[in-house]
Amino acid sequence: MAVGLASGRPFLMIAYILKRLLIGAATLLLASAVVFAVMEVLPGDPAQVMLGMSATPEATANLREQMGLDQPLMWRYISWVGGLLVGDFGRSYTYSAPVSSLIAERLVVSLPLALMSLVLSTVIAIPVGIFSAARRGRLPDSIAMGTAQLGVAIPNFWFALLLIYVFAVGLQLVPSGGFPGWGGGIWNGLKSLILPSVALALPQAAILARVTRSALLDVLGEDYIRTARAKGLPRGRVLRRHALRNAMIPVLTILGLQFAFLLAGTIIIENVFYLPGLGRLVFQSITQRDLIVVEGVVMLLVASVIIVNVLVDLAYALVDPRLREAA
């Protein structure tokens, strides 16, 4: 945080960062308690749930012991969280493999997918939002915002079906589903992630474009913008130098929130395209009642949402000099 140090108030900056990190850690701990409680306390006997009603009492008792269910509740929670901290998510019952290695296998699909859609939506949305704000109330603005309005209303999985129909079935440019792995060359892997990431990015881009536009318009109504214009600065320069930086705060907030929707969106999109990612793993584990996998993946997704939002909070301090000083 070189900027904070340069401002001459390093301690306030550090205090701000520490406070955010502390809140983040507390939220993580609470979230883990929620996930644990929901998955282990509510359903009664997890072993029974996993094996189904037809299981013999011996099989159930065996699994209970294997899962450590005979231990006291508090101890199970502590050992579960302790395991999570060192990357031990437990053992999958159906795959008979460590959950962490299952997750690692799937992350090489889900992570590039999420990143590609995030980049794609940002690269489309922010220029469109700026363009619209600069031409507010005129035809190009109406067209762009009308398209965005439509984009927000289109369910990503339906858009995915249309993309498959046009580009995979019709034009046969890309595969309609499945993932060949990264072994057969980067391009082969990327090719099967193009349609999924476009389908995921579209609604996010539509929302982000609208937020960018309205954030910019809010800032453009401020007195200091009028001052900047009055002293003779050209419009474009005012937009770039004065308005854009201030409009970044709400844009960042939405980007952080969108990350959560993006992760949740992968659950649907990976199922549409039969991609072997985290979303599909969690979905399959539900049908196989593999609660330990569900618990691990859900916790991982929730944790990444919390961590991203802490990072966004920290980024405010970099973008907004007032926060940097006053924090």
Partner 1 sequence: MTDAALDQPLPDDGFWRHALRNRSFVIGAVLTLLIATMALVSFFWTPYSVFELAVANRMKGLSAEHWFGTDHFGRDLLSMIMVGARASIAVAVVAVGIGIVLGVPLGCYAAARGGWIDEALMRVNDLVFAFPALLSAVMITAIFGPSATNAIIAIGIFNIPVFARVARAGALSLWPREFILAARAAGKSKGLITVEHILPNIISLLLVQGTIQFALGILAEAGLSYLGLGTQPPMPSWGRMLFDAQTRMMAAPHLALFPGFAIVLTVLGLNLLGDGLRDILDPRLRRVR
Q: Binding residues for partner 1, per CB under 8 A? A: 23, 26-27, 30-31, 34-35, 38-39, 42-43, 49, 137, 149-150, 152-155, 157-158, 161-162, 164-165, 169, 257, 260-261, 263-265, 267-268, 271-272, 282-283, 285-286, 289, 291, 294, 298, 301-302, 305-306, 309
**Helix 291-319 and helix 244-272: axis angle, to 10°?**
160
Nearer to partner 1 by Cβ, of 3 and 41: the residue is: 41
The distance of closest approach from Cβ of residue 119 to partner 1 in the complex, given in angstroms and rounded to an integer, is 20
The distance of closest approach from Cβ of residue 184 to partner 1 in the complex, given in angstroms and rounded to an integer, is 26
Nearer to partner 1 by Cβ, of 4 and 151: the residue is: 151
Nearer to partner 1 by Cβ, of 61 and 303: the residue is: 303
The distance of closest approach from Cβ of residue 105 to partner 1 in the complex, given in angstroms and rounded to an integer, is 19
The distance of closest approach from Cβ of residue 121 to partner 1 in the complex, given in angstroms and rounded to an integer, is 16
Q: Give just the sign of the alpha carbon dihedral 245, 246, 249, 250.
A: negative
Nearer to partner 1 by Cβ, of 97 and 264: the residue is: 264
Amino acid occupying residue 53: M
Instruction: Give the angle 49-264-203 at the CA atoms, nearest 5°.
Output: 150
The distance of closest approach from Cβ of residue 291 to partner 1 in the complex, given in angstroms and rounded to an integer, is 7
- Give me the residue label for tokens 């109406």: 142
What gap in Å lies between CA 151 and CA 207, rounded to an integer? Answer: 8
Q: What is the CA radius of gyration of the chain?
A: 24
**HSE (side-chain half, CA atoms, 13 Å) at 191:** 14
- Conformation bin of residue 88: beta by default, left when phi > 0, alpha when psi is -120 to 50: beta
The distance of closest approach from Cβ of residue 180 to partner 1 in the complex, given in angstroms and rounded to an integer, is 21
Nearer to partner 1 by Cβ, of 153 and 186: the residue is: 153
Helices (H) and strands (E) in the chain, counts: 15, 0
The distance of closest approach from Cβ of residue 5 to partner 1 in the complex, given in angstroms and rounded to an integer, is 29
Backbone angles phi, psi at 174, to 5 degrees: -135, 160
What gap in Å lies between CA 197 and CA 119, rounded to an integer? Answer: 10
What gap in Å lies between CA 62 and CA 67, rounded to an integer? Answer: 9
Cβ atoms of residues 246 and 162 within 8 Å: no
Nearer to partner 1 by Cβ, of 4 and 16: the residue is: 16
First-to-last C-alpha distance (Å) of the chain = 14
What gap in Å lies between CA 159 and CA 200, rounded to an integer? Answer: 9
The distance of closest approach from Cβ of residue 282 to partner 1 in the complex, given in angstroms and rounded to an integer, is 6
Nearer to partner 1 by Cβ, of 35 and 130: the residue is: 35
